[in-house]
């Protein structure tokens, strides 16, 4: 799926835009800071995916805008029914603990 053009304020039009990793890199890894954040984003995706329960990985906030230097990553993890963080691989558990999450 291709992304629509950004609006004048630098945001995407409201909506859900499924993207592959290569598309994320093409559209959003456009500065050194954004490349660092993309690497972190892909790492977080991998940690969530190895649980076997990842249903959706939602990215929002300044990373998916035209802002050249986003400050952080904003994500929502939607897990399938039956997921229990205590059963997740040890390396993934900090994703599901607010105090440990980065």
DSSP-based three-state secondary structure for 79 = strand
Average pLDDT over residues 56-60: 95
The answer as to whether 40 is a domain residue is: yes
What distance lies between CA 51 and its chain's CA centroid? 16
The answer as to whether 94 is a domain residue is: no
Q: List, in sequence order, every residue forming a beta bridge with 85; answer none if it has no partner.
A: none
CA–CA separation, 61 vs 13, rounded Å? 13
Side-chain half-sphere of 53: how many Cα atoms within 13 Å?
A: 17
- Owning domain of residue 69: 1-81
Number of domains in the chain: 1
- CA angle, residues 99, 101, 102, in degrees to nearest 5: 120
pLDDT band at 57 (very low <50, low <70, confident <90, very high): very high
The answer as to whether 22 is a domain residue is: yes
pLDDT band at 102 (very low <50, low <70, confident <90, very high): low
The answer as to whether 5 is a domain residue is: yes
Q: Is the pLDDT of residue 92 over 90?
A: yes
The answer as to whether 95 is a domain residue is: no
- Structure confidence at residue 2 (pLDDT): 77
The answer as to whether 100 is a domain residue is: no
Q: Is the pLDDT of residue 1 over 90?
A: no
What distance lies between CA 88 and its chain's CA centroid? 19
Q: Which residue has the tokens 């900090």?
A: 94
């Amino acid at each position: 799926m291709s992304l629509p053009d950004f609006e004048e304020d630098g945001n995407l039009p409201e909506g859900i835009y499924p993207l592959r990793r290569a598309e994320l890199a093409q559209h959003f890894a456009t500065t050194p800071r954004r490349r660092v954040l993309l690497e972190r984003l892909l790492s977080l995706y991998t940690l969530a995916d190895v649980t076997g329960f990842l249903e959706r990985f939602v990215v929002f906030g300044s990373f998916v805008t035209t802002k050249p230097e986003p400050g952080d990553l904003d994500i929502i993890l939607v897990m399938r029914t039956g997921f229990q963080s205590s059963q997740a691989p040890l390396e993934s558990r900090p994703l599901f603990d607010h105090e440990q999450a980065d």
